[in-house]
Amino acid sequence: MNERSGLRSQRTAALLPPSCAAVGVRRRILQGALHLFATRGFHGASMRDLASVIEVQPSAIYVHFPSKEHLLAELVRVGHEVHHEQIRLAMLEASADPVAQLCALVRAHVRMHTSYPDLAVIVNTELEALSPELAAPGLALRNQSIALLLAVIERGTALGRFSHPNTQVVAAAIGAMGVRIPYWYSPDLGLDAVELAEVHVQLALRMLGADLSKEGGR
């Protein structure tokens, strides 16, 4: 059993975020594609498979999406969009202290990956299946999210709040912790999503060598 099939089977329904504006048949198509791509992979699911799952004729899908690649591109864009918006808003609501902002960003990062695990899987594993043109909107949002994390780490370092060997490496490690959540996490493990986020916050602060002695450290 591979990693994808073993862990994806623990969930019964794939979720789209409320911010996804698609309605009616278009939303059903996206919902079905989300489930199939997360469980089988982009290359392992056909448009006929999707039509069967959502109980429509294949021609009905092509009315809304010209190709399977366009379907994936929309899911990738939606996933990156909700992720970026969650971390951006979390940072805006935090105080100006870089430690507080880092904690808020990490909590939002974890929340995205626990709330929408199938979408997170697609965003992080199937992006390479897209052409550069179709991948561009999602990648632009991803780069904006990375820039937010790098900026808060760099500012915290400049202010003496963080002490670490390399900004890029630590940022990548913090991001990767969240990316792995859909592959192992389940509330059945006795740790709810809020508790998991706090564990990630503590790990991120340790990686950054955070100075918690000043106001804003929690």
pLDDT tens profile 96-118:
999 999 999 999 999 999 999 99
Residue range 9-26: mean pLDDT, rounded: 70
Nearest in space to 83 (alpha carbons), one of 113, 56, 55, 63: 113
Reported as type and span, the H/E element at residue 212 is: none
**Predicted confidence band at 214 (pLDDT cuts at 50, 70, 90)?**
low
Return the structure tokens found at 144: 């904006």
Give pLDDT tens digits for 154-201: 999 999 999 999 999 999 999 999 999 999 999 888 999 999 999 999
Q: Stretch 21-48: mean pLDDT, rounded? A: 89
The CA distance from 148 to 98, in Å, is 11
| Whole-structure pTM value | 0.88
Q: Return d(Cα 72, Cα 195) in angstroms, integer.
A: 32
**Are 207 and 164 spatial neighbours (Cβ–Cβ below 8 Å)?**
yes
